[in-house]
Amino acid sequence: MSSSAFDYIIVGAGTAGCLLANRLSADPRKRVLLLEAGGQDDYHWIHIPVGYLYCIGNPRTDWLYQTEPAAGLNGRSLRYPRGKVLGGSSSINGMIYMRGQARDYEGWAEASGEESWRWGQVLPFFKKHENHWRLDDGAGSDEFKALHGHGGEWRVEKQRLSWDILDAFSRAAQQAGIPASEDFNGGNNEGVGYFEVNQRAGLRWNTAKAFLRPTCLGRPNFELWTGVQVQRLLLERSDGALRCQGAEVRTPQGLETVSLSPGGELLLAAGAIGSPQILQLSGLGPAALLQRHGIEVQQHLGGVGANLQDHLQIRAVFKVQGAKTLNTLAASPWGKARIGLEYLLRRSGPMSMAPSQLGAFAKSSPDLAWPDLQYHVQPLSLDAFGEPLHGFNAFTASVCNLNPTSRGTVEIRSADAAEAPLIAPNYLGTEEDRRIAAESLRLTRRIVAQPALASYRPEEYRPGPQYQSDEELARLAGDIATTIFHPVGTCKMGRAEDEMAVVDGRLRVHGVAGLRVVDASVMPSITSGNTNSPTLMIAEKAAAWVAEAAAHP
């Protein structure tokens, strides 16, 4: 443990924290400390793509959060995976590279008053760390090169296998009016095609590999502490102004204090669950909540822990005939051996699979200007992650509402930092979300009914064709829908006059000097797609702002 002060303290070595550590420690004059409550990413299943099955729900790699029972889910609660190792959730997630839609960032600019969140201005920050496989040999049109980067740390590759049943689903989607797409990341992601993934040569490429190793860990001005949980931030009020001075942390040796140098910054990158929890424990949050748990209110910030948004997927399963699926390929010891051998020799086959291979972005109504639905299609089926595969050939077509109107909360249960917070996403809490859930299931059925899939004789196994009315389908969605693990919004950015805004357009906590939040929690609205890569872009922009502030205090 170091006894001296740091120019930058980064809380959380997840997606945002790893990039921040790399960028800020590149200045040898600045001392940087990265704190991670979890452990090393040295579990072998982290790095084998299909290993997400063994990482989600594993206390070694997952914080094992659980949501509160939700009325919209007919009283059910859900498992809520969050990464517990270096790389955070990038070590256990689906590895899908997805930016969202241009309209997402235009909305952020309007909400925050910060013009640099507009699509044209965030694009260079996506490209800065991107290393896209299509540009390896200078391939790609000028338009593609204008949209994508090469030579950065964040590897983007094509998937290493395809499936006949997924190709047939793609053709069926096109017959249903969804165009084919070769690039979901150009601003409008409408279309159907195979996802690109964050892998390198058949191995998961998490942010710890990309940004901590090897450059960052070798720098003499950088320190990484793992197994260290932040108890609270240290705040000091002088002449009426509040400033962050460091943090109190629990290490294996006991409580310690880490301090900021004068003019330094603490960057809270603990994620959409961890960041609001730490702020609330530090006296920053809704005053009534803090007082209820005996925490002195340093500053009332009503939006801390509010505005929780997530993508809820409805997993429809269809039995098929005459198709190769993972259900039967992996059903025997010989089949499992063949799969293992293919991965060992070629780093390909089912063990190289991301959780979802084929994607589609579609509209729940032809009147919409932008897609509002996302499909994750898989050549397998099971009752839930961690459960055995079904004993029959099938595919799963999961669909989620990209822009849910329901909003939830994250709240501390006590003043004990070791106690998991109360997570209440309020899924399907609005009539609009329930309506779109019903429409999304109808679109799924319409796709599956197209001629391209007819030879496989698809039979709806789940939810079942007997459910038809809006009311039946909405209730059914509550019975079978699960999170797709995209929580955001709990420390949202916004203008000073927005009473629910936690940070400003440059991610500085309102009313507290020396403190920024840099992770998915700052999104005022959820992106129209997977949230990992947008979080990296947020961190890239924040690192530039922090360096600029240090150069021009």
Nearest alpha carbon to residue 362 among 370, 353, 350: 370
Angle at 344 between CA 338 and CA 349, to 5 degrees: 55
416 exposure class (CB count in 10 Å sphere: 0-12, 13-18, 19+): exposed
Angle at 377 between CA 191 and CA 431, to 5 degrees: 80
Handedness of CA 378, 383, 386, 387 (dihedral sign): negative
The DSSP line for 185-218 is -SS---EEEEPEESEETTEE--HIIIIITTTGGG
The phi, psi pair for 521, rounded to 5°, reads: -65, -20
Report how far apart, in Å, the C-alpha atoms of 370 and of each of 181, 358, 507 are: 15, 20, 28
Residues annotated catalytic, as ranges: 486
CA 20 – CA 543 distance, rounded (Å): 6
The phi, psi pair for 80, rounded to 5°, reads: -130, 80
Query: For residues 309 and 433, is the Cβ–Cβ distance under 8 A?
Result: no
Nearest alpha carbon to residue 504 among 114, 103, 129: 114
Alpha helices in 484-531 (DSSP H): none
The phi, psi pair for 203, rounded to 5°, reads: -120, 145
Q: Exposure string (b/e) for 432-465, b if CB count within 10 Å is 16 or more?
A: ebbbbbbbbbebbeebbebebbeebebebbbbee
Token pair for 303: 């939006």
DSSP 433: H
Token pair for 317: 């399963």
Rg (CA), the chain: 23
Q: Exposure string (b/e) for 285-311, b if CB count within 10 Å is 16 or more?
A: bbeebbeeeebeebbebbbbbbbbbbb
